[in-house]
Amino acid sequence: MLKAYSILNKILQINNLTKKYGPVTAVKDLSFTIEKGNVYGILGPNGSGKSTTLGVVLNVVNKTSGDFKWFDGRESTHDALKKVGAIIERPNFYPYMTAAQNLDLVCKIKNVAPDKIDEKLELVGLLDRKDSKFRTFSLGMKQRLAIASALLNDPEILILDEPTNGLDPQGIHQIREIITKIAQDGTTILLASHLLDEVEKVCTHVVIIRKGEKLYSGPVDQMNASFGFFELKAAETEKLHRLLDEHPSFGKITQKGEILVAFLNEPLEAEALNKYLFENGLVLSQLVKRKESLEEQFLQLTNQISA
Protein backbone atom coordinates (compact mmCIF):
# COMPACT_ATOMS: atom_id res chain seq x y z
CA MET A 1 0.00 0.00 0.00
CA LEU A 2 2.67 2.39 1.03
CA LYS A 3 4.71 1.50 -2.02
CA ALA A 4 1.85 2.14 -4.42
CA TYR A 5 1.38 5.50 -2.80
CA SER A 6 4.98 6.50 -3.27
CA ILE A 7 4.99 5.42 -6.93
CA LEU A 8 2.01 7.60 -7.66
CA ASN A 9 3.87 10.49 -6.18
CA LYS A 10 6.96 10.17 -8.32
CA ILE A 11 6.73 12.90 -10.91
CA LEU A 12 10.12 12.62 -12.49
CA GLN A 13 12.93 10.12 -12.16
CA ILE A 14 16.30 10.73 -13.73
CA ASN A 15 18.71 7.80 -13.85
CA ASN A 16 22.38 8.10 -14.74
CA LEU A 17 21.70 10.80 -17.28
CA THR A 18 24.67 11.86 -19.39
CA LYS A 19 24.82 14.46 -22.14
CA LYS A 20 27.89 15.17 -24.21
CA TYR A 21 28.28 18.02 -26.67
CA GLY A 22 31.17 16.73 -28.72
CA PRO A 23 34.11 16.47 -26.34
CA VAL A 24 32.35 18.47 -23.61
CA THR A 25 30.37 16.59 -21.00
CA ALA A 26 27.55 18.89 -19.94
CA VAL A 27 25.78 16.43 -17.66
CA LYS A 28 27.54 13.47 -16.10
CA ASP A 29 25.78 10.45 -14.66
CA LEU A 30 23.09 12.52 -12.98
CA SER A 31 20.32 10.86 -10.98
CA PHE A 32 17.58 12.34 -8.86
CA THR A 33 13.87 11.98 -8.25
CA ILE A 34 11.18 14.61 -8.02
CA GLU A 35 8.25 13.82 -5.80
CA LYS A 36 4.88 15.43 -5.64
CA GLY A 37 4.27 18.44 -3.46
CA ASN A 38 7.82 19.59 -2.87
CA VAL A 39 9.56 22.64 -4.20
CA TYR A 40 12.89 21.64 -5.72
CA GLY A 41 15.79 23.81 -6.60
CA ILE A 42 18.53 22.86 -9.01
CA LEU A 43 21.44 24.91 -7.93
CA GLY A 44 24.69 25.34 -9.73
CA PRO A 45 26.95 27.98 -11.18
CA ASN A 46 26.48 29.13 -14.77
CA GLY A 47 27.31 26.39 -17.23
CA SER A 48 26.94 23.61 -14.69
CA GLY A 49 24.43 21.68 -16.78
CA LYS A 50 21.15 22.84 -15.24
CA SER A 51 19.53 23.92 -18.47
CA THR A 52 20.85 20.91 -20.35
CA THR A 53 19.29 18.58 -17.78
CA LEU A 54 15.97 20.37 -18.07
CA GLY A 55 16.32 20.39 -21.87
CA VAL A 56 16.68 16.61 -21.89
CA VAL A 57 13.66 15.89 -19.74
CA LEU A 58 11.65 18.45 -21.73
CA ASN A 59 12.32 16.68 -25.01
CA VAL A 60 14.36 19.41 -26.70
CA VAL A 61 17.87 18.07 -26.08
CA ASN A 62 18.86 14.53 -26.99
CA LYS A 63 20.47 12.55 -24.18
CA THR A 64 23.72 10.68 -24.74
CA SER A 65 22.98 7.91 -22.26
CA GLY A 66 20.91 7.15 -19.19
CA ASP A 67 17.18 7.62 -19.02
CA PHE A 68 14.35 9.52 -17.40
CA LYS A 69 10.75 8.71 -16.67
CA TRP A 70 7.83 11.08 -16.30
CA PHE A 71 5.05 9.96 -13.99
CA ASP A 72 6.70 6.58 -13.58
CA GLY A 73 6.77 5.98 -17.32
CA ARG A 74 3.02 5.65 -17.64
CA GLU A 75 2.93 7.73 -20.83
CA SER A 76 5.13 8.98 -23.64
CA THR A 77 7.30 12.00 -22.96
CA HIS A 78 5.34 14.40 -25.15
CA ASP A 79 2.04 13.36 -23.58
CA ALA A 80 3.55 13.72 -20.13
CA LEU A 81 4.74 17.20 -21.07
CA LYS A 82 1.12 18.24 -21.60
CA LYS A 83 0.76 17.91 -17.83
CA VAL A 84 3.91 19.89 -17.18
CA GLY A 85 4.33 23.64 -17.26
CA ALA A 86 7.79 24.78 -18.19
CA ILE A 87 9.66 27.92 -18.99
CA ILE A 88 13.25 27.62 -19.99
CA GLU A 89 15.58 30.53 -20.56
CA ARG A 90 13.97 33.39 -22.45
CA PRO A 91 10.21 33.46 -22.90
CA ASN A 92 9.41 32.28 -26.41
CA PHE A 93 6.20 33.37 -28.08
CA TYR A 94 4.98 34.49 -31.47
CA PRO A 95 5.74 38.23 -31.57
CA TYR A 96 2.90 39.04 -33.95
CA MET A 97 0.22 37.50 -31.75
CA THR A 98 -1.38 39.12 -28.71
CA ALA A 99 -0.95 37.66 -25.23
CA ALA A 100 -4.37 35.99 -25.39
CA GLN A 101 -3.77 34.59 -28.87
CA ASN A 102 -0.45 33.13 -27.78
CA LEU A 103 -2.04 31.47 -24.78
CA ASP A 104 -4.86 30.19 -26.96
CA LEU A 105 -2.25 28.47 -29.14
CA VAL A 106 -0.64 26.88 -26.10
CA CYS A 107 -4.07 25.55 -25.08
CA LYS A 108 -4.44 23.98 -28.51
CA ILE A 109 -1.04 22.34 -28.22
CA LYS A 110 -1.71 21.09 -24.71
CA ASN A 111 -5.17 19.97 -25.70
CA VAL A 112 -6.94 21.87 -22.94
CA ALA A 113 -9.95 24.19 -23.11
CA PRO A 114 -9.04 27.87 -23.43
CA ASP A 115 -11.31 28.98 -20.59
CA LYS A 116 -8.49 29.51 -18.09
CA ILE A 117 -6.67 32.16 -20.13
CA ASP A 118 -8.18 35.14 -18.31
CA GLU A 119 -7.74 33.53 -14.91
CA LYS A 120 -4.03 32.90 -15.47
CA LEU A 121 -3.43 36.32 -16.99
CA GLU A 122 -5.08 37.80 -13.90
CA LEU A 123 -2.77 35.73 -11.66
CA VAL A 124 0.34 37.22 -13.24
CA GLY A 125 -1.19 40.68 -13.51
CA LEU A 126 -1.41 40.89 -17.28
CA LEU A 127 -5.16 40.81 -17.80
CA ASP A 128 -5.30 44.44 -18.88
CA ARG A 129 -2.68 43.74 -21.55
CA LYS A 130 -4.25 40.58 -22.95
CA ASP A 131 -4.89 42.16 -26.35
CA SER A 132 -1.46 43.72 -26.75
CA LYS A 133 0.97 42.11 -29.15
CA PHE A 134 3.71 40.05 -27.52
CA ARG A 135 6.46 42.10 -29.17
CA THR A 136 5.34 45.22 -27.29
CA PHE A 137 5.97 43.55 -23.90
CA SER A 138 8.85 44.33 -21.59
CA LEU A 139 11.08 41.46 -20.44
CA GLY A 140 9.33 41.27 -17.08
CA MET A 141 5.92 41.08 -18.76
CA LYS A 142 7.17 38.46 -21.19
CA GLN A 143 8.42 36.37 -18.29
CA ARG A 144 5.10 36.73 -16.47
CA LEU A 145 3.23 35.75 -19.64
CA ALA A 146 5.47 32.68 -19.82
CA ILE A 147 4.44 31.74 -16.29
CA ALA A 148 0.77 32.22 -17.18
CA SER A 149 1.28 30.01 -20.19
CA ALA A 150 2.97 27.31 -18.13
CA LEU A 151 0.03 27.32 -15.72
CA LEU A 152 -2.73 27.05 -18.33
CA ASN A 153 -3.15 23.31 -17.87
CA ASP A 154 -2.93 23.48 -14.06
CA PRO A 155 0.26 21.44 -14.32
CA GLU A 156 1.35 18.69 -11.97
CA ILE A 157 4.75 20.28 -11.94
CA LEU A 158 6.01 23.71 -12.86
CA ILE A 159 9.55 23.92 -14.19
CA LEU A 160 11.28 27.28 -14.14
CA ASP A 161 14.76 27.87 -15.48
CA GLU A 162 16.34 31.08 -14.24
CA PRO A 163 12.97 32.82 -14.04
CA THR A 164 14.38 36.08 -12.75
CA ASN A 165 17.35 36.29 -15.09
CA GLY A 166 17.81 39.76 -16.52
CA LEU A 167 14.92 41.34 -14.63
CA ASP A 168 15.05 44.54 -12.63
CA PRO A 169 14.54 44.29 -8.84
CA GLN A 170 10.86 45.04 -9.16
CA GLY A 171 10.44 42.35 -11.80
CA ILE A 172 12.37 39.87 -9.68
CA HIS A 173 10.11 40.64 -6.75
CA GLN A 174 6.95 40.16 -8.82
CA ILE A 175 8.13 36.82 -10.19
CA ARG A 176 9.11 35.54 -6.75
CA GLU A 177 5.75 36.54 -5.35
CA ILE A 178 4.00 34.64 -8.10
CA ILE A 179 6.16 31.56 -7.53
CA THR A 180 5.51 31.65 -3.80
CA LYS A 181 1.78 31.95 -4.46
CA ILE A 182 1.86 28.93 -6.77
CA ALA A 183 3.92 26.91 -4.30
CA GLN A 184 1.36 27.64 -1.57
CA ASP A 185 -1.33 26.11 -3.77
CA GLY A 186 0.54 22.81 -3.55
CA THR A 187 1.98 22.72 -7.06
CA THR A 188 5.26 20.86 -7.32
CA ILE A 189 7.94 23.23 -8.55
CA LEU A 190 11.37 22.63 -10.00
CA LEU A 191 13.40 25.79 -10.04
CA ALA A 192 16.81 26.00 -11.65
CA SER A 193 18.91 28.91 -10.57
CA HIS A 194 22.39 30.09 -9.85
CA LEU A 195 20.99 32.51 -7.30
CA LEU A 196 21.25 30.97 -3.86
CA ASP A 197 18.92 33.22 -2.00
CA GLU A 198 16.29 32.57 -4.61
CA VAL A 199 16.49 28.84 -4.00
CA GLU A 200 16.76 29.36 -0.25
CA LYS A 201 13.65 31.53 -0.16
CA VAL A 202 11.47 29.24 -2.22
CA CYS A 203 12.69 25.65 -2.12
CA THR A 204 12.31 22.77 0.30
CA HIS A 205 14.65 20.42 -1.53
CA VAL A 206 17.78 21.11 -3.46
CA VAL A 207 19.95 19.37 -6.03
CA ILE A 208 23.37 20.91 -6.35
CA ILE A 209 25.33 20.29 -9.49
CA ARG A 210 28.70 21.47 -10.65
CA LYS A 211 30.24 20.72 -14.02
CA GLY A 212 27.39 18.34 -14.73
CA GLU A 213 27.94 16.26 -11.59
CA LYS A 214 25.61 15.99 -8.65
CA LEU A 215 27.16 17.16 -5.41
CA TYR A 216 24.15 16.96 -3.15
CA SER A 217 20.49 16.23 -3.29
CA GLY A 218 18.05 16.33 -0.41
CA PRO A 219 16.20 18.73 1.86
CA VAL A 220 17.64 22.23 2.02
CA ASP A 221 18.07 22.18 5.79
CA GLN A 222 20.05 18.92 5.77
CA MET A 223 22.44 20.10 3.15
CA ASN A 224 25.27 20.28 5.60
CA ALA A 225 25.49 18.35 8.84
CA SER A 226 26.40 21.61 10.49
CA PHE A 227 25.17 22.78 13.88
CA GLY A 228 25.95 26.39 13.18
CA PHE A 229 28.45 28.64 14.85
CA PHE A 230 28.79 31.41 17.43
CA GLU A 231 30.16 34.87 16.96
CA LEU A 232 31.43 36.02 20.32
CA LYS A 233 33.08 39.12 21.69
CA ALA A 234 34.42 39.85 25.14
CA ALA A 235 36.91 42.24 26.70
CA GLU A 236 39.23 39.36 27.53
CA THR A 237 39.59 37.71 24.16
CA GLU A 238 42.30 35.27 25.24
CA LYS A 239 40.34 33.98 28.19
CA LEU A 240 37.34 33.53 25.94
CA HIS A 241 39.46 31.58 23.49
CA ARG A 242 40.76 29.32 26.26
CA LEU A 243 37.28 28.66 27.69
CA LEU A 244 35.95 27.79 24.28
CA ASP A 245 38.84 25.41 23.69
CA GLU A 246 38.01 23.67 26.93
CA HIS A 247 34.33 23.26 26.05
CA PRO A 248 33.66 19.88 24.41
CA SER A 249 31.06 21.20 21.96
CA PHE A 250 33.39 23.32 19.89
CA GLY A 251 35.62 22.39 17.01
CA LYS A 252 37.35 25.01 14.93
CA ILE A 253 37.74 28.49 16.40
CA THR A 254 38.85 31.41 14.31
CA GLN A 255 39.40 35.05 15.07
CA LYS A 256 37.98 37.87 12.98
CA GLY A 257 39.30 41.11 14.42
CA GLU A 258 37.93 41.28 17.96
CA ILE A 259 35.30 38.66 17.28
CA LEU A 260 35.83 34.95 17.80
CA VAL A 261 34.00 32.59 15.51
CA ALA A 262 33.47 29.18 17.10
CA PHE A 263 32.04 26.28 15.09
CA LEU A 264 29.90 23.68 16.85
CA ASN A 265 30.51 19.94 16.75
CA GLU A 266 27.24 19.15 18.46
CA PRO A 267 24.06 21.06 19.25
CA LEU A 268 24.43 23.78 21.83
CA GLU A 269 21.99 26.49 22.79
CA ALA A 270 23.12 30.09 23.11
CA GLU A 271 21.72 30.26 26.64
CA ALA A 272 23.79 27.27 27.76
CA LEU A 273 26.95 28.78 26.37
CA ASN A 274 26.26 32.14 27.99
CA LYS A 275 25.67 30.43 31.32
CA TYR A 276 28.88 28.38 31.01
CA LEU A 277 30.98 31.45 30.26
CA PHE A 278 29.40 33.56 32.98
CA GLU A 279 29.94 30.82 35.55
CA ASN A 280 33.57 30.82 34.55
CA GLY A 281 33.79 34.55 35.20
CA LEU A 282 33.58 35.88 31.68
CA VAL A 283 31.09 38.51 30.57
CA LEU A 284 30.28 38.68 26.88
CA SER A 285 29.69 41.90 25.06
CA GLN A 286 28.38 40.13 22.00
CA LEU A 287 26.76 36.74 21.44
CA VAL A 288 25.33 35.66 18.10
CA LYS A 289 24.38 32.16 17.10
CA ARG A 290 24.15 31.60 13.35
CA LYS A 291 23.72 28.86 10.84
CA GLU A 292 25.67 29.00 7.64
CA SER A 293 23.61 30.58 4.92
CA LEU A 294 22.93 28.43 1.91
CA GLU A 295 25.56 30.44 0.13
CA GLU A 296 28.25 29.51 2.66
CA GLN A 297 27.15 25.88 2.62
CA PHE A 298 27.06 25.90 -1.15
CA LEU A 299 30.55 27.30 -1.40
CA GLN A 300 31.74 24.79 1.18
CA LEU A 301 30.23 21.94 -0.82
CA THR A 302 31.57 23.04 -4.17
CA ASN A 303 35.02 23.71 -2.71
CA GLN A 304 35.22 20.39 -0.92
CA ILE A 305 34.90 18.62 -4.23
CA SER A 306 37.24 20.80 -6.22
CA ALA A 307 39.92 20.72 -3.53
Q: Is 11 near another protein (CB under 8 A)?
A: no
Q: Is 111 near another protein (CB under 8 A)?
A: yes
Nearer to another protein, 62 or 184 (CB): 62
Work out which of 15, 16, 65, 76 binds another protein, going by CB under 8 A: 76
Three-class secondary structure of residue 43 per DSSP: strand
Q: Is 191 near another protein (CB under 8 A)?
A: no
Contact string 209-248 vs another protein (x = CB under 8 A): ----------------------------------------
Residues 6+ apart with CB under 8 A from 225: none
Among 4-12, 30-38, 74-82, 296-304, which window interacts with another protein (CB under 8 A)?
Answer: 74-82
Q: Which residue, 16, 141, 157, is CA-closest to 82?
A: 157
Nearer to another protein, 78 or 242 (CB): 78
Residues 187, 188, 192, 197: is their CA dihedral positive or negative?
Answer: positive
Residues 15-54 close enough to bind another protein by CB under 8 A: 21
Characterize 43-77 residue by residue with b for buried, 16 or more Cβ atoms within 10 angstroms of its Cβ, and e for exposed.
bbeeebbbbbbbbbbbeebebeebebbbbeeeeee
Residues 20, 26, 30, 34: is their CA dihedral positive or negative?
Answer: negative
Residues 152-181 close enough to bind another protein by CB under 8 A: none
Length of the chain: 307
Among 73-81, 168-176, 238-246, 258-266, which window interacts with another protein (CB under 8 A)?
Answer: 73-81
Smallest distance from another protein to CB 13, Å: 19
CA 79: distance to chain centroid? 26
Contact 131, 101 (CB under 8 A): no
Q: Is 253 near another protein (CB under 8 A)?
A: no
Tell me 249's DSSP state: T
Residues 114-153 close enough to bind another protein by CB under 8 A: 149
Among 27-35, 77-85, 234-242, 270-278, which window interacts with another protein (CB under 8 A)?
Answer: 77-85
Q: Are strands 188-193 and 39-43 parallel, antiparallel or unpaired?
A: parallel
Work out which of 81, 151, 192, 203 binds another protein, going by CB under 8 A: 81
Work out which of 7, 60, 270, 305 binds another protein, going by CB under 8 A: 60
Characterize 14-28 residue by residue with b for buried, 16 or more Cβ atoms within 10 angstroms of its Cβ, and e for exposed.
beebbbeeeeebbbb
What are the residues binding another protein (CB under 8 A)?
Answer: 21, 55, 58-62, 76-79, 81-82, 84, 86, 88, 90, 92-98, 101, 104-106, 108-111, 149
